[in-house]
Amino acid sequence: MPVPFRRKMRSNAAAGGLWKMTRNGGQLLVDCLMALGATKSFGIPGESYLAVLDALHDTAGRLDFVLCRNEGGAAFMAAAHGKLTGQPGICLVTRGPGVTNASIGIHTAMQDSAPMLVFVGQVGTDMRGREAFQEIDYRAVFGSMAKWAVEIDEIDRIPELVGRAWRTAISGRPGPVVVALPEDMLTDITDAEPLPGPIVAAEPAPDPEMLEEARGLLAAAERPLILIGGCNWSAAGRAAMQDFAEQSQIPVVAAFRFHDCFDNHAPVYCGEAGVGMPPHVRKLVADADVILAVNIRFGEMTTDAYSLLSVPLPAQRIIHVHGSDAEIGKIYQPAIAIQSGPNNFARAIRPVRDKWAGWLAQGRAGYDASFEAPAQPSPVDMVAVMAHLRDVLPGDVILTNGAGNFTVWPNKFFRFGAEARLLAPQSGAMGYGLPAAIAAKVNFPERCVVCFAGDGDFQMNLQEMATAAQADAQPIILLLNNGIYGTIRAHQERNYPGRVSGTTMDNPDFVALARAFGFHAERVGNTADFGAAFDRALASKTGALLDLDISPEALTPRQTLSQMREAALAAKRED
């Protein structure tokens, strides 16, 4: 094993005898990251990048290493960090099995458009190409999953390639970059200087003529609609977009899982286009004649499997605004294409005349009505739980969730104010919620962070409770425990009614597990007990888990499991 190397000074005869600092590759990498402004990293240790871990030892807290329990959890944390802060989340993992575990977070960061840098220990350069222990070709494996994949072969190129990786991650449509670090390169010695300071990607600004064309098209519309989403929004940008929408009285719909881009309390906000799309949102999108799409990529969920708008020429005339020209016209050909970042666009566009009061009123009424749902056939009624949470959670709360039918509750039954944030994976990755909540707490320890999880979803990454405890970053976990893989069971009942196979779980004692990790934990067996239990969770200094008793019958807010099965059986009888 290499002897730990400390920064030293040496005379450089070629430079007239001037003394220059020397570093090993691990130290140069860490110095570059600190110069760029990185303050947090998430990872699992590996012998392939021990030089980096050694360099982190000397950062005096300037660049913290959050020790995780699985590379997938670490990658989720880094992806959530990028989504929440706008700066690349740093993930450190070892080669082969380590980075393949992390691939779920890399894929999630790409679909979320979240900036992220994944540094991977690699076999030494003298071993490469021999299928050495844990060797993989990172460019081949991650070339289509990440924005860029690169291997740094020479120590002197660390500043160049790390700077390029950072800029790539934050530019255009943000996303993940994978950087492979050969083990011997990290222990080489150099007098190369680290990067001088932060890199800021200039946000594209809209062309003034295109802005006026867009205003003209909106002004002539009978039923205009604003679709909003994506990362990279600043508080000022969101406020400017809200001001434009309110002065113009144009209804606003959020893209899938981007509720927090717009104040849900604003009178022009009308809901989210995503899984389980409410009828009023579907009607708004389908009936609109002009759609101002700001910072969205027209994904499958937002368009209801591309059925609400015809590909490639929809009946709706689209004004597509995006920071990356590669996203404009990728699926739907716009009437007007504007390459611009969301904040510059929001600040630049002037209101158009208000003539759509009736159209807006329909959309807002539908949104308000969407919170109404029957009492659930369950010991704990999530309709009542969400009503309570809407009353008691602070305005700057951060909600997180993974994947499953349970996500309908935070995604459809909560109103996100201007300062609230949602961390939810566009990729539908199970197990994201807890790591994302830990990343949120690491960055904003003073804020209330609530993780929603299903029992199947939670068991994908429950080991990260140990990470939360060690990092002193414990969120509140609301565990919706119904003993089934809810989403898959719903599809199973619709397609193979009554034939249950592989979707029922025998669960552990989650309360005992959480307590073993140092969390406050309790079982909530009925709705009446939830309020007091949540108060105790809020007061806990160690994080909390509330294990909510949810009946499998309460599979969706408006259709029970039995009703779903009976409808499918009736349809089969008719066939």
Find the CATH number of the domain harbouring 387. Answer: 3.40.50.970
Contacts 24+ apart (CB under 8 A), 134-139: 134/48, 134/94, 134/95, 134/96, 134/97, 134/98, 135/95, 135/96, 136/95, 136/96, 136/99, 136/100, 138/99, 138/178, 138/180
Answer yes or no: are the C-beta atoms of 511 and 478 closer than 8 Å: no
Task: Kindly report, residue by residue over 183-214, the tens digit of the pLDDT.
Answer: 999 999 999 999 999 999 999 999 999 999 99
Task: Kindly report, residue by residue over 226-276, the tens digit of the pLDDT.
Answer: 999 998 899 999 999 999 999 999 999 999 999 999 999 999 999 999 999
248 with 330, same domain: the answer is yes
Answer yes or no: are the C-beta atoms of 357 and 247 closer than 8 Å: no
Distances (CA, A) of 170 to 23, 255, 423: 27, 21, 18
352 with 398, same domain: the answer is no
**Angle at 207 (CA atoms; ends 206, 210), nearest 5 degrees:** 105
159 with 221, same domain: the answer is no
Residue 88, preceding bond cis, omega within 30 degrees?
no
Res. 2 pLDDT band, cuts 50 70 90: very low
135 with 161, same domain: the answer is yes
Residues 6+ apart with CB under 8 A from 490: 405, 555, 556, 561, 564
Query: What does the pLDDT read at residue 13?
Result: 52
Q: Exposed e or buried b for every residue in 130-143, given b needs 16+ CB within 10 A?
A: eeeebbbebeebbe
For 490: left if phi > 0, alpha if psi spans -120 to 50, otherwise beta; the answer is: alpha
Task: Kindly report, residue by residue over 529-558, the tens digit of the pLDDT.
Answer: 999 999 999 999 999 999 999 999 999 999
Residue 3 has pLDDT above 50, yes or no: no
Domain membership flag for residue 54: yes
Taking residues 410-421, report their average pLDDT.
97
The residue type of 467 is T
Find where tokens 């009554």 sit: 498
Res. 125 pLDDT band, cuts 50 70 90: confident
Query: What does the pLDDT read at residue 574?
Result: 87
426 with 469, same domain: the answer is yes
**Nearest one of 403, 525, 511 to 456, comparing CA atoms:** 403
463 with 489, same domain: the answer is yes
Answer yes or no: are the C-beta atoms of 536 and 527 closer than 8 Å: no
Query: What does the pLDDT read at residue 18?
Result: 61
Taking residues 393-397, report their average pLDDT.
98
Domain membership flag for residue 318: yes
Three-class DSSP category at 382 = helix
**End-to-end Cα separation, the chain, in angstroms:** 70
Q: Dihedral through CA 237, CA 243, CA 249, CA 254, nearest 10?
A: 30
Range of the domain at 388: 382-574
**What's the DSSP call for residue 558?**
S
Boundary residue ending a domain (302, 336, 369): 369
Torsions phi, psi for 31 (to 5 deg)? -65, -40
**Nearest one of 453, 361, 449 to 403, comparing CA atoms:** 453
146 with 219, same domain: the answer is no
Sign of the Cα torsion 314, 316, 322, 325 reads positive
Three-class DSSP category at 552 = coil
Answer yes or no: are the C-beta atoms of 138 and 127 closer than 8 Å: no
Q: Which helix (H) or strand (E) holds 369?
A: helix 357-369
**What's the DSSP call for residue 1?**
-
DSSP code string of 492-514: HHHHSTT---S-B-----HHHHH
Domain membership flag for residue 285: yes
Res. 4 pLDDT band, cuts 50 70 90: very low
pLDDT over 90 percentage in the chain: 91
247 with 290, same domain: the answer is yes
C-alpha span between 469 and 492 (Å, rounded)? 38
446 with 501, same domain: the answer is yes
454 with 514, same domain: the answer is yes
Kindly report the average pLDDT of the chain as a whole number: 95
Query: What does the pLDDT read at residue 67?
Result: 98
Domain membership flag for residue 196: no
The residue type of 542 is T
Provide the 10 A C-beta neighbour count for residue 216: 12
DSSP code string of 61-116: TSSEEEE-SSHHHHHHHHHHHHHHHSSPEEEEE-TTHHHHHHHHHHHHHHHHT--E
Domain membership flag for residue 420: yes
Domain membership flag for residue 151: yes
Contacts 24+ apart (CB under 8 A), 484-492: 484/456, 484/552, 485/404, 485/456, 486/404, 486/405, 486/406, 486/454, 486/456, 486/552, 486/555, 487/403, 487/404, 487/405, 489/552, 489/555, 489/561, 490/405, 490/555, 490/556, 490/561, 490/564
Query: For residue 249, what is the domain's CATH number?
Result: 3.40.50.1220
Find where tokens 């009353």 sit: 391
C-alpha span between 67 and 65 (Å, rounded)? 6
Residue 354 has pLDDT above 90, yes or no: no
pLDDT over 70 percentage in the chain: 97
Which residues face 102 on adjacent strands? none
Domain membership flag for residue 376: no
Task: Kindly report, residue by residue over 304-314, the tens digit of the pLDDT.
Answer: 999 999 999 99
Res. 373 pLDDT band, cuts 50 70 90: very high
Res. 16 pLDDT band, cuts 50 70 90: low
C-alpha span between 434 and 418 (Å, rounded)? 23
Task: Kindly report, residue by residue over 30-46, the tens digit of the pLDDT.
Answer: 999 999 999 999 999 99
Query: What does the pLDDT read at residue 126?
Result: 76
Query: What does the pLDDT read at residue 328?
Result: 96
Q: How many folded domains does the chain comprise?
A: 3
What is the CB-side half-sphere exposure of residue 520 using CA atoms within 13 A? 16
What are the helix and strand counts (H, E) for the chain?
21, 21
Distances (CA, A) of 210 to 213, 214, 323, 345, 346: 5, 6, 14, 11, 14
307 with 258, same domain: the answer is yes
450 with 533, same domain: the answer is yes
Residues 6+ apart with CB under 8 A from 447: 394, 396, 397, 398, 440, 441
Measured in residues, the chain has a length of 575
Query: What does the pLDDT read at residue 138?
Result: 87
Q: What residue spans of 116-207 are helical by DSSP H?
A: 138-142, 158-170, 183-187
Boundary residue ending a domain (345, 369, 393): 369
Query: What does the pLDDT read at residue 10?
Result: 53
Residues 6+ apart with CB under 8 A from 427: 107, 108, 111, 112
Boundary residue ending a domain (190, 222, 252): 190
Domain membership flag for residue 339: yes
Residue 497 has pLDDT above 80, yes or no: yes
Q: Provide the token pair at 332.
A: 């739907």
Res. 470 pLDDT band, cuts 50 70 90: very high
C-alpha span between 368 and 268 (Å, rounded)? 11
User: In whole angstroms, what separates CA 70 from the centre of its chain?
Assistant: 18
Q: Dihedral through CA 132, CA 133, CA 138, CA 139, nearest 10?
A: 10
